[in-house]
């Protein structure tokens, strides 16, 4: 596909739309590429016929088929400022964290502390770094999100068609994500589900918090005990719905918040957790499984713990195992 020019363009642009964008709405395509252009201006240009497909007027909900010719009128777009260069050490960590890759997608073991994308004071996230590290890639897009402090499996699409199919798998419940979390106390084996609606709330400081609220969105997480330790339980958590901070809030709601969680765990508990080596949120996207967008075959990828999580588990195991089927 030809690139859309930035800056002040005095001539009409003709852009060939790639088949990679098949199925995407035209307005969403334009909004993602005409950065800095007011939404009202984009919709006005479509309404007036200044933006056309194959020389014909189209509505904002037109679905791209691939191969069309897009007409853009003369316009003024701000120059795009690129993110800062990827530090050498970060680049090495990201390259070493690739768990699986083919021509359609990548699965990366995202390090804790690295945001998935820039914004809100963060200039460089995982996806911006990947685009710099892979300058020849035609497209790299996040399929889903992970909190900044959460480590583990994250999916990146390398084709628009793959992105669309993996989004469909997410919506249709055909993608299985399993997280490992170290929670305070003894999680009862009989408690295998937390079904509680979640509502976002923004504090005066601007910090985003989530709480269980009857007016919130329906939310369901499955839990399973993996191992018991003296004062902690290692659990597997599978979110059936995909709400912000879902596992963290559902664990707190169940009375067993996650070790190292600065938002939803008590400061006193986190102080105790630091004494056993928990220096970060102990929440890890341990595996992800889905139908491959190219072959349709089931693909499952697992991510190993980083040194911090591995060290915590090994030190707890040295104190002895505790039965998991006694409650």
Spatial separation of the C-alpha atoms in residues 53 and 83, rounded to whole Å: 32
323 C-beta neighbours (distance < 10 Å), count? 8
For residue 320, is it left (φ>0), alpha (ψ between -120 and 50) or beta? left
* 318 burial type by CB count under 10 A (0-12 exposed, 13-18 middle, 19+ buried): exposed
146 C-beta neighbours (distance < 10 Å), count? 24
101-285-258 Cα angle (round to 5): 165
Q: How far is CA 161 from CA 30, 53, 131, 168, 291, in A?
A: 18, 20, 18, 11, 14
Closest CA to 312 of 286, 287, 283, 278: 278
Report the catalytic residues.
Answer: 147
84 C-beta neighbours (distance < 10 Å), count? 11
Which sign, positive or negative, has the C-alpha torsion 256, 261, 264, 267? Answer: positive
* 287 burial type by CB count under 10 A (0-12 exposed, 13-18 middle, 19+ buried): buried
Spatial separation of the C-alpha atoms in residues 295 and 316, rounded to whole Å: 42
Closest CA to 5 of 52, 57, 73: 73
For the record, the structure tokens of 25 come out as 């709405």
Containing 105, the helix (H) or strand (E) segment is strand 105-110
Closest CA to 119 of 99, 103, 142: 142
91 C-beta neighbours (distance < 10 Å), count? 15
């Amino acid at each position: 596909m030809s690139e859309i020019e930035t800056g002040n363009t005095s001539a009409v642009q003709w852009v060939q739309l790639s088949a990679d964008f098949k199925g995407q709405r035209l307005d969403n395509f334009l909004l993602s590429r005409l950065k800095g252009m007011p939404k009202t201006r984009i919709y006005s240009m479509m309404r007036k016929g200044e933006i056309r497909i194959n020389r014909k007027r189209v509505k904002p909900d037109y679905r791209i088929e691939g191969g069309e010719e897009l007409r853009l009128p003369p316009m003024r777009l701000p120059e795009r400022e690129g993110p800062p260069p990827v530090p050498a050490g970060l680049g090495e960590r990201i390259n070493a964290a690739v768990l699986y890759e083919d021509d359609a997608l990548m699965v990366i073991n995202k390090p804790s502390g690295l945001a998935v994308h820039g914004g809100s004071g963060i200039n460089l996230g995982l996806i911006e770094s990947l685009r710099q590290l892979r300058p020849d890639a035609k497209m790299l897009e996040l399929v889903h999100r992970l909190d900044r402090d959460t480590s583990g499996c994250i999916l990146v699409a390398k084709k628009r068609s793959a992105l669309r199919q993996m989004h469909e798998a997410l919506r249709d419940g055909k993608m299985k994500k399993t997280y490992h979390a170290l929670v305070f106390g003894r999680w009862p084996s009989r408690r295998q589900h937390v079904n509680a609606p979640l509502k976002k709330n923004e504090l005066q400081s601007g910090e985003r918090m989530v709480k269980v609220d009857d007016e919130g969105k329906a939310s369901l997480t499955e839990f399973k005990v993996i191992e018991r330790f003296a004062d902690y339980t290692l659990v597997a958590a599978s979110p059936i719905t995909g709400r912000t901070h879902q596992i963290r809030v559902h664990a707190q709601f169940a009375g067993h918040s996650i070790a190292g969680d600065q938002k939803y765990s008590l400061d006193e508990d986190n102080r105790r957790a630091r004494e056993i080596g928990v220096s970060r949120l102990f929440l890890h996207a341990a595996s992800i499984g889905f139908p491959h967008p190219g072959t349709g075959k089931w693909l499952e990828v697992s991510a190993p713990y980083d040194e911090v999580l591995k060290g915590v588990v090994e030190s707890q195991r040295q104190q002895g195992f505790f039965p998991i089927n006694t409650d």
